Amino acid sequence: MKVLVIGNGGREHALAWKLSESKNVDKIFMARGNGGTEDFCENLDLDPKDIHGLLKFAHEEKIDLTVVGPEDPLCLGIVDAFKEKGLKVFGPNKDCARFEKSKEFTKKFLEKYSIPTAKYKSFENYDEAIEGLSEFSYPLVVKADGLCLGKGVIICQNLEEAKDALHKIFKDKIFGDEGSTVVIEEFLTGEEASVLCLVSDNKLFPLERAKDHKQIFDGDKGPNTGGVGTYSPVAASQELEKNLQVIYRQIEDGLDKEKLTYSGILFIGFMIEEDKPKVLEFNVRFGDPETEVLMPRLDCDLFELLNKTIDGKLKEEDIKWKDETCLTVIMCSGGYPASYEKGKEISGLDDVDEDIIVFHNGTKKSDALYTNGGRVLSVTALGKNLEEARKKAYDNVAKINFDGAYFRKDIGTKKNNNI
Ligand code: AMP
Ligand code: GLY
């Protein structure tokens, strides 16, 4: 069978790596892939947003399964386009991708189905939004409605900052049309956690949990990034588990009532306080770097799992996990998440231990391997427990080098590892 994986990051490298283990998979194409996927896949010169080009390729090459990594092609309707041509594709359709494309759409859904979330109001112009601020206390959160490369959320400590945020979005149009609607939201406190669910015909199958580390500096300090380290599994209290189950059922009920047909992955971001989860956001794709620790722990055939999900035939018992803990440390380019340089030569990959998996987030191969993004490499280890996985990962990070390399030293060291 031939598989096409769309995307360039560590998430897509991890998905392709797991798919390559399947006895059903003979060949994997990547659009575009990176320096790491080149070793076992065929990287294509096709942009993940080039729906027409991808469709033409999949049709001509008779691809048996296409797996969509990032949100952009999903929001552009790649799944609808592929299905129309009779091609099998993993991911939600354009209607359902609105859960990531529009924060207002998600908030309305959450409100309608009484799913716990921060109190909010949405606005389409600056003056009304300024007036609306009086209904909130500080800090509050200003969010551009659309896709803003993870930068559309501004936490405001006072009226001045809130006015400034609204001015930047509505008047300076820093997010262009993606900021034509703004959501103002109550600020939630607690511990952030995410759950990735396979969704098969509107039924949610939560995967084992992975704990992300979003801030760039140790001790969860500094600006947010896409995620610079993860581990899995994560323990949870019975009370929290019970509350999460209620939310999963509410989401399924809402999808049915809205006559949506959701298939693919739903990434639910939560804020949790005293075992009470509130939904912060939905994403309609796998998390990155969550996928880098989930794939090595998955103890079943990913190709079969994704096909069953698409066919609406997935069952709880199809999803199997290894007992081991998996931890990944992301080596970043110096300066990330602000500006950084690319094109630094990477050395030491030949020296890493055999049981270490290095997923590539942002690399490019020519005469040698070079950095090509803010997040560069996910150095990933399985161990019998968190301590062992962490030690193995960091021992191997130490063997890899590039100019300006930066990584957090404290992934998986928090005293309270439960969410
Ligand atoms: P989002 O893209 O909505 O997940 O927001 C990005 C990040 O902003 C989240 O991961 C949180 O750290 C933070 N955030 C978003 N909404 C809220 C909120 N209502 N209260 C507190 N923090 C928030
Ligand atoms: N790691 C967070 C995300 O993928 O959005």
Report pLDDT digits (tens) over 257-302: 999 999 999 999 999 999 999 999 999 999 999 999 999 999 999 9
Q: Is the CB of 36 under 6 A from ligand 2?
A: no
- 187 touches ligand 1 (CB under 6 Å): yes
At 415 the pLDDT is 63
pTM: 0.96
**What pLDDT does 414 receive?**
80
For ligand 2, pick from 72, 207, 267 the residue to mutate: most ligand atoms within 8 Å of CB.
267
Report the pLDDT value the prediction gives residue 11, as an integer from 0 to 100: 98
Predicted confidence at residue 294, as pLDDT, reads 98
Please tell me if the CB atom of residue 280 comes closer than 6 angstroms to any atom of ligand 1: yes
* Residue indicated by tokens 């094109």: 343
Position 132 pLDDT exceeds 90:
yes
Q: Is 9 in the pocket of ligand 2 (CB under 6 A)?
A: no
What's the chain's average pLDDT? 96
| pLDDT, mean of residues 118-127 | 96
Residue 271 has a pLDDT of: 95
pLDDT given for residue 151 in this prediction:
82
Whole-number Å distance, alpha carbon 125 to ligand 2 midpoint, is 29
Ligand nearest to the CA of 192: 1
Residue 416 pLDDT > 70: no
| Per-residue pLDDT tens digits for 354-399 | 999 999 999 999 999 999 999 999 999 999 999 999 999 999 999 9
Ligand 1 center from residue 108 Cα (angstroms): 17
Pick from 153, 213, 283, 292 the residue to mutate for probing ligand 2's pocket: most ligand atoms within 8 Å of its CB.
283
Q: What is the pLDDT of residue 236?
A: 85
- Place 150 in a pLDDT band, splitting at 50, 70 and 90: confident
The number of the ligand 1 atom at minimal distance from the alpha carbon of 269 is 4
